[in-house]
């Protein structure tokens, strides 16, 4: 293996590792609820109608269950441990996302 091939292989390994890290970060769902809307990544409105929801999420008590499951939300009290900060609003027109909460993890829907 010459130097060029070795460099090419190293670049492929680095790109692959970066993709793994990025995908894992995007999938984690540890949520911190903030009282300040400007600190929030998402402004959330909770709906009772699943058909108008942008996201259907399932809360969990187990933070490890939420690690690799998009839509499984573990609420943390530590904002530095959270992957997303959310602010709940009662005005649907202010919200970034309309969310329906389910108890069935097979109903989860989280589009971009």
pLDDT at 19: 47
pLDDT at 66: 74
Q: pTM for the complete prediction?
A: 0.70
Strand (E) positions, the chain? 30-33, 42-46, 55-60, 72-75, 84-88, 97-101, 109-110
pLDDT at 69: 66
Q: How far is CA 85 from CA 1, 2, 3, 48, 76, in A?
A: 48, 48, 46, 22, 10
pLDDT in tens, the chain (112 residues): 566 666 656 555 555 544 444 334 344 588 999 999 999 999 999 999 999 999 999 998 888 877 766 888 998 899 998 989 999 999 999 999 999 999 988 888 887 5
CA distance 88 to 108: 19
């Amino acid at each position: 293996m010459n130097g060029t091939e070795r460099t090419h292989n190293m670049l492929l390994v680095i790109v692959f590792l970066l993709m793994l890290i990025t995908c894992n970060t995007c999938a984690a769902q540890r949520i911190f609820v903030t009282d300040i809307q400007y600190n929030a990544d998402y402004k959330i409105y909770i709906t009772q109608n699943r058909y108008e929801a942008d996201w259907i999420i399932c809360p969990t008590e187990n933070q490890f269950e939420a690690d690799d499951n998009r839509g499984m939300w573990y609420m943390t009290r530590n904002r530095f441990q959270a992957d997303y900060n959310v602010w709940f609003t009662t005005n649907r027109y202010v919200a970034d996302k309309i969310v329906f909460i389910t108890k069935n993890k097979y109903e989860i829907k989280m589009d971009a």
